[in-house]
Amino acid sequence: MQLEDMILVSIDDHMIEPPDMYKNHVPAKWADKVPKVVRNDQGIDQWVFQGHATSTPFGMAATVGWPKEEWGFNPGAYSELRPGCFDVHERVKDMNANGVLASMNFPTMAGFNARTFNESEDKEISLVMLRAYNDWAIDEWAGAYPARFIPLGIVPMWDIDLAVEEVHRLGKKGCRSISFLETPHVQGFPSFLSGHWDPMLKAIVDEHMVLSLHIGGGFDVIKKAPEAPVDHLIVLACQISAITAQDLLFGPTLRRFPDLKVALSEGGIGWIPFYFDRIDRHYHNQAWLHHDADFGGKLPSEVFRDHILACYITDPSGLLLRDRIGLDIIAWECDYPHTDTTWPESPEFSWKELQDASCSDDEIHQITWQNACRFFDWDPFKHIDKEQASVGALRALAKDVDVTRMPKNEWRKRNEAAGIGVL
Amino acid sequence: MQLEDMILVSIDDHMIEPPDMYKNHVPAKWADKVPKVVRNDQGIDQWVFQGHATSTPFGMAATVGWPKEEWGFNPGAYSELRPGCFDVHERVKDMNANGVLASMNFPTMAGFNARTFNESEDKEISLVMLRAYNDWAIDEWAGAYPARFIPLGIVPMWDIDLAVEEVHRLGKKGCRSISFLETPHVQGFPSFLSGHWDPMLKAIVDEHMVLSLHIGGGFDVIKKAPEAPVDHLIVLACQISAITAQDLLFGPTLRRFPDLKVALSEGGIGWIPFYFDRIDRHYHNQAWLHHDADFGGKLPSEVFRDHILACYITDPSGLLLRDRIGLDIIAWECDYPHTDTTWPESPEFSWKELQDASCSDDEIHQITWQNACRFFDWDPFKHIDKEQASVGALRALAKDVDVTRMPKNEWRKRNEAAGIGVL
């Protein structure tokens, strides 16, 4: 096996929703209520919904086109972005250039857990727009290239019955996963431990879908020092996946739903051997807590493995201990267009890391696509031949794709001249 | 090398302060103000200070004598404890029975960071009692067996000048380390990042002492769900060491004090390779943050290694990746008399783990005693011959020590009959 023979399925990337996303998905009576992109006096594009500027979904969320010196939390304009951020056809070209067969895309403007809609005032309108987001994301974005995108949706967190209803609606249209909040209690919602979310979890199980918990949403679970620099968020966000796992495992959400599947998106894998050592020792050592009964005779690490898919962008130490994690719960991700992405050298980057860890060919296939496809019960080869799905085959389609990083101003000039990213 | 040839120096154990600890260390005018142990109607011993019951320092903090079924957060009485918890002569016998040469002991009643004194009202009295604690811990407890204890003290957190003064006072009497709070901002103090503690850190550096940050004190840095079971505290406490390290490393406390040495007590080691992968990737990837200048051209992991000693009780995954951690920053600990301790089979437990990880004899010596002695600049062999310091030699002295775990009631009966643990 060579680098070119790898097949890459990434279970964590992001779309920057395009300004016209609501065009086809909202009944006429709501047309003037949709979230809109407004360019302000400083040339900055902002999403506005129900009278509030909800986000400037750029800066750190869409750095893929820029040199590192231009990264930061500074907002920007659509025309400054690499078009693959918001245009699905350009996205597929960028995936080809990076040899990536398929991708699951998390929302930006809408929020990983539909935050924009959860926090708005008029819930009737919010529900319309949340559903329209899902219809756009699943039917229009993912639907344009069925071999290339694993459909992902969001649910209204403000009403558990509506959340259940939306899970079923999405399940019927082929959605494979729900993006939710890793530690709901830090955003003022009931925790996973409370049981409040159980009807929704049951619906997800009934639809054979996966609960995807992306890092970042629960960052406030850490009470950081007031002086903490931006490094804290970037470095520690992965550490929170252990807290999320702990909530689910000892909560006991996972034990209550034997068929629930949870993806810890961007959580990394290197923390897992340490966590397993700790929870299995805890199980044996703290016998007075009687977890032998709670876990049905299984070790906590076994229950974790029954339910959870972990994923990583770069994780050399974790790969060395892959046997202690479990080879069938490790998946790869690309994280386009965020700062952590390895685009456009993901194949080179990942191949070296997998080789450095002495992974066998079979292990590479498990990690780079098989685990993801099995876990999300999603088969790209219904739509594309396997020979056309490899890094080598996809890159052959993308010889004309320019992957050069360029300053924002240069993007703005080029894109605006071509009518791209113009409101 | 055989198990019996190991030399064990533990940098994290605990004493349960005995009821008469203040007898020799408080001037007569303050004699009626000392913290006192009072046995209540239910037969439970409580420390009382300045009119408040401050702690029932038993239950989970002193389980070493009991079968697992009797563990829990239930309070108890001194006479229910294995006497090695609070009697230094009995402690040394228990260390011999476990083949442990030396130990650094953290406070219980006083709190890892002198919490009992920080939170009391009359600060004049508190300061007298805090200093008396230090005099007892260093001169009486550790001083009774200079080859067997690494002296550790605490400082008044309510006044930085007093803290500086106490560091110097302790330094002069041979104290090797200050026990402090891992994330001071979660208990309402200024954070490490604030710079508030810098004069104290400077004093610690000037006295060539080590800052010891024990897990647990900062547990509230995690906003846990209201329904979180006790497992969360036990399992996740180690995860907080990564947050502590992050505060110090990107704070930038460690960079401001090139000679500051910090021990992350009971923090475990298995999280470190993942954390190093993350911070070193962060350093390279987020070039816009210009950490190349901040870290003086070193990688963050290198700065960590220059300053920090990590320690573990049981950590099989971490030991497998010891090369990625750094062999000279790993130390072993026993955690007597807490639930996590491996007493009285620490040699068997640790030997197996070290052998399973294929550690060489040299590596075993580094991990079980050399790193600790070097880092704390403390040499037991001024007081004991090396041949008398091994597991085999010490255990030969302890053939009469009964290590049987017994129910609390049995201890109470035996101890009270012998006048042990009676107020």
CB contact under 8 A, A321 and B321: yes
Q: Which of B69, B215, B224, B350 to mutate to test the interface with A (most CBs of A within 10 A)?
A: B224
**Burial bucket for residue B119 (CB in 10 Å: 0-12, 13-18, 19+):** middle
The three-state DSSP-derived secondary structure of B208-257 is CCEEEEECCCCHHHECCCCCCCHHHHHHHHHHHHHHHHHHHHCCCHHHHC
CB contact under 8 A, B227 and A186: no
In the block, which residue shows the tokens 């643990």? B421
Chain B: closest CA distance from residue A127 (Å): 27
Chain A neighbors of B291, CB-CB under 8 A: 231
Nearest CA in chain A to B274: A270
How far, CA to CA in Å, does B10 sit from each of A252, B96, B100? 35, 13, 7
Low-confidence ranges of chain B (pLDDT < 50): none
Q: Is B220 on the interface with A (CB under 8 A)?
A: yes
Check residue A360 and give its pLDDT. 98
Are residues B84 and B337 in contact, defined by beta-carbon separation less than 8 angstroms? Answer: yes
Interface pTM, i.e. ipTM: 0.97
The three-state DSSP-derived secondary structure of chain A is CCHHHCCEEEEEEECCCCCCCCCCCCCHHHHHHCCEEEECCCCCEEEEECCEEEECCCHHHCHHHCCHHHCCCCCCCHHHCCHHHCCHHHHHHHHHHCCEEEEEEECCCCCCCCHHHHCCCCHHHHHHHHHHHHHHHHHHHHHHCCCCEECEECCCCCCHHHHHHHHHHHHHCCCCEEEECCCHHHHCCCCHHHCCCHHHHHHHHHCCCEEEEECCCCHHHECCCCCCCHHHHHHHHHHHHHHHHHHHHCCCHHHHCCCCCEEEECCCCCCHHHHHHHHHHHHHHCHHHCHHHHCCCCCHHHHHHHHEEEEECCCHHHHHCHHHHCHHHEEECCCCCCCCCCCCCHHHHHHHHHHHCCCCHHHHHHHHHHHHHHHCCCCHHHCCCHHHCCHHHHHHCCCCCCCCCCCHHHHHHHHHHCCCCCC
Q: Is A50 on the interface with B (CB under 8 A)?
A: no
pLDDT digits (tens, 9 = 90+) for A366-406: 999 999 999 999 999 999 999 999 999 999 999 999 999 99
Q: Which of B286, B295, B315, B352 to mutate to test the interface with A (most CBs of A within 10 A)?
A: B286
Check residue A59 and give its pLDDT. 75
Taking the whole predicted model, whether its pTM rises above 0.90 is answered as yes
CB contact under 8 A, A281 and B314: yes
Q: Which of A66, A246, A303 to mutate to test the interface with B (most CBs of B within 10 A)?
A: A246
Instruction: Report phi then psi at A100, rounded to 5.
Output: -95, 120
Q: Hey, which residues does A106 pair with through a beta bridge? A: A14
CA distance A47 to B309: 48
pLDDT digits (tens, 9 = 90+) for A226-262: 999 999 999 999 889 999 999 999 998 999 999 999 9
CB contact under 8 A, B246 and A232: yes
**Which residues 308-337 on chain B approach chain A with CB closer than 8 angstroms?**
314-318, 320-321, 324
Are residues A408 and A76 in contact, defined by beta-carbon separation less than 8 angstroms? Answer: yes
CA distance A160 to A199: 7
In the block, which residue shows the tokens 């913290």? B35
- Spatial neighbors of A325 by CB under 8 A, at least 6 apart, are A269, A272, A273, A276, A310, A318
3-state secondary structure at position B102: strand
Q: Give chain B's end-to-end CA distance (angstroms, integer).
A: 46
Check residue A57 and give its pLDDT. 57
Nearest CA in chain A to B287: A68
Q: Which of B221, B227, B320 to mutate to test the interface with A (most CBs of A within 10 A)?
A: B227
Check residue B57 and give its pLDDT. 57
Q: Is A83 on the interface with B (CB under 8 A)?
A: no
Check residue B261 and give its pLDDT. 98
Residue type, A338: H
Nearest CA in chain B to A288: B69
Check residue B43 and give its pLDDT. 87
Q: Before B337, cis peptide (omega within 30)? A: yes
Check residue B299 and give its pLDDT. 97
Chain A neighbors of B232, CB-CB under 8 A: 246, 250
Low-confidence ranges of chain A (pLDDT < 50): none
| CA torsion through residues A41, A42, A48, A50, sign | negative
CA distance A377 to A365: 16
Check residue A293 and give its pLDDT. 86
